[in-house]
Structure 1
């Protein structure tokens, strides 16, 4: 037996539901010859007669009556598929709120965001550059890119890579330090109070802290402009030809780089499509995230 053609089934059901070939043809927007041909094709596939044809009209045969519930189930399944696709199409518009560190948006996500915008121009992306872990559970954001080894329990996500860290500085600043020139200082994250980072405590205990900041982007710019040494993700430090890796012990342990979203929204079309698109975009450059040496 050949596979059943859903188009043939829909024509058969239309005749049963509308009561005549003429009414079925009108409902389907075709002529009665097409309806008759499609039903004959279904009967040929099933190797059974579904209608008794007479000059007074068509009546359903016992075989047709017996398979009617199955045909109606096929109709419902097809309708569910159509509704799902239509919902997805309608949902491929509107606003998507994405949060990440400012430096992550600028140095990692922007090319992928440009490609996404070109493919899905009806989705407007709001970029929330924030150091804070916005609460996805209350829809402060739809998607979050975060570095963490302990994602919160009220979200779902995928780990993209591990960020390795190192201490970086300009070569000229490193040479000044080696020559014994004073004035070379450290640039650190704004930790608890005046806490000293481990890399500084273990490797350069006499080096003064010149700057503290709560922005990775600011720390990066301070380092690349020659204000001192600081800790950066290796992917960021290695990508800058003006910076070199400074020997240091006690650097941060690797941190997971995650794409996270709200539990309730994970199947929303625009969120699902954005997630899959960005994961595909980021996959080829995972090696750069995880490398501890220049690529």
Structure 2
């Protein structure tokens, strides 16, 4: 007979994409997860998980079982929450459990981290793992919420728009005094550029240097946008940066704001419904409210004549 807890283990394997990840969520050893999956497959007489070098994939039979597994998990969570509420006086609306979020580095630090910190203060049972990475939106990477730039690689992946944001080019006063301030885009080719490592940049929407600087690549490149920012502050060259990051730095000046202003879009991908943690939807809603309230940081008005100094944002 199939045990209910074996189905819950299967659900966590499907969410995490690996036995190790599922074990971390369940608070057990990965060998225990493997043993429970083997027991489930023995009871059913068929495989529910395909193990590979890149992780685990749930079979068609395994996917058919996920609805039942989710109902069991929800019932167990309801019982636990009622017992906890009765003993602690905690609201039954409390968010609990682990939510995994993947987001681009700067957006994750500036917008996602404050949201999850405030949510955790109100919901002490909520845990959040925030992984920062600049990568295409791909379903099945083990995150409850995946935030990326632009549309996903596959049109079959459904995403929701979060917000548009603006990028511009910035340099330090020291660099501009030494190398001169470009007065038109044609003069950018003679300058040192700071941007992502081209061979490691996997997001098509961020492949911007080819249009702005034909025939040239970045002299200083990094996979970290914060490293790019620090390189520009140190006078290493002209960097293309998100305005919400660079406009806060008094040591940077925005160059050619009217000519070079690129607007891109952050989009969010939630795990499939059957794998979706209830808390994940609440966290995403909070992130959407945050970016709506701070839209001026993401899409600042372009400076007018004589305001190319890139003064820091004075808003709170």
Task: Please tell me the TM-score bracket, short chain as reference.
Answer: 0.5 to 0.7
SS at match of 1:197: helix
Alignment correspondent of 2:212: 199
1:146 counterpart SS class? strand
Q: What residue is the counterpart of 1:95 in the other structure? A: 98
Cross-structure match for 2:265: 256
1:119 aligns with 2:122: yes
Superposed counterparts of 1:67-78, under 5 Å = none
Q: 1:187 to 1:88 in 2, by over 3 A?
A: farther
Alignment of 1:1-295 (within 5 A): 86=78, 92-133=95-136, 135-136=138-139, 138-150=140-152, 152-178=154-180, 185-192=192-199, 197-201=210-214, 209-247=218-256, 251=260, 253-264=262-273, 268-293=277-302, 295=313
TM-score after normalising by structure 1: 0.59
C-alpha distance in structure 2 between counterparts of 1:198 and 1:265, whole Å: 42
Conserved in 2, the CA contact under 8 Å of 1:234 and 1:291?
Answer: yes
Q: CA deviation at 1:249?
A: 8.4
Whole-Å Cα distance in 1 between the matches of residues 80 and 191 of structure 2? Answer: 56
Q: Is the 8 A contact 1:166 1:292 kept in 2?
A: no
Deviating beyond 6 angstroms after TM superposition, the runs of 4 or more aligned structure 1 residues are: none
* In structure 1, distance between residues paired with 2:239 and 2:229: 8
Kept in 2, the 8 Å contact 1:168–1:229? The answer is yes
Q: Secondary structure at the match of 2:249?
A: coil
Q: For the aligned residues, what is the CA RMSD?
A: 3.7
1:54 aligned residue: none
1:235-287 superposed Cα distances (whole Å, 9 cap, x missing partner):
22212222111127874742111232123258642111111122222211012
> In 2, distance between residues paired with 1:105 and 1:193?
20
- How far apart in 2 are the matches of 1:191 and 1:88? 49
Question: Do the aligned partners of 1:98 and 1:126 also contact (CA within 8 Å) in 2?
Answer: yes
- Deviation of 1:142 (Å): 0.6
* 1:179 to 1:153, Cα distance in 2 relative to 1, 3 A: closer
After superposition, the Cα gap between the structure-2 partners of 1:193 and 1:127, relative to the gap in structure 1 and judged at 3 Å, is closer
The total of aligned residue pairs comes to 207
Normalised by the length of structure 2, the TM-score is 0.55
Q: Which has the larger radius of gyration?
A: 1
Determine the structure 2 residue equivalent to 1:44: none
Q: Which residue of 2 aligns with 1:16?
A: none
* Distance 1:238-1:154 versus aligned 2 partners, 3 A rule: same
Contact 2:137–2:153 (CA<8 Å) still a contact in 1? Answer: no
Shift of residue 175, structure 1, vs aligned partner:
2.0
Match of 2:204 in 1: none
